[in-house]
Amino acid sequence: MTMVRDHGTMASGEDRGFTLLEVMVAVSIMALVLVTLLGLKNKTMQDVMMADHITTATLLAKRMMTDTIIFKPRLPLEDEGEFSEEGFKEYTWKKAISVTPLTQIMEVRVAVLWKEGTRQEMVELVGYE
């Protein structure tokens, strides 16, 4: 059995390439994917910034909670203020010490607040001493 290949013939009209419609559909799909990926990147960056703020606020609240417990104030107390250190000026704090039904134990609440766009965000720690 002998096979013969014809290399010298021109391609038929159907095999010449992509039509304009096919190219436009492919470009439209690529544009849609690109816009979706850019939106996802922006959302991811916002999530990373929010996680950074939550981590910083949690560490500041833990530091304030530790300082409060070390100084052992025994009176019911409410106080608030700002962090004076450079880099933490966008954060504020609130502290509340209240009595519990058990007279020897005080409830200590420390909240660290910051602005996230137009929203007020907060991390709150509660401890008993």
The model's pTM: 0.69
Q: Which residues lie closer than 8 Å to 99 by C-beta, 6 or more apart?
A: 76, 106, 107
The whole-number pLDDT of residue 6 equals 56
For residue 85, how far is the Cα from the chain centroid? 23
Instruction: Give Cα separations from 121 to 21, 62, 91, 127 (angstroms).
Output: 50, 17, 10, 20
State the SS3 of 24-59: HHHHHHHHHHHHHHHHHHHHHHHHHHHHHHHHHHHH
Please give the Cα distance from 107 to 82 (Å, whole number): 22
Q: Report the share of the chain in percent with pLDDT over 90.
A: 51
Q: What is the pLDDT of residues 18-34, one digit of tens each?
A: 899 999 999 999 999 99
- Which residue in 122, 70, 67, 127 sits closest to 97, CA to CA? 127
Q: What is the pLDDT of residues 62-83, one digit of tens each?
A: 999 998 888 877 677 898 999 9
Options 3.30.1300, 3.30.499, 3.30.110, 3.40.50; which CATH number does 18-128 get? 3.30.1300
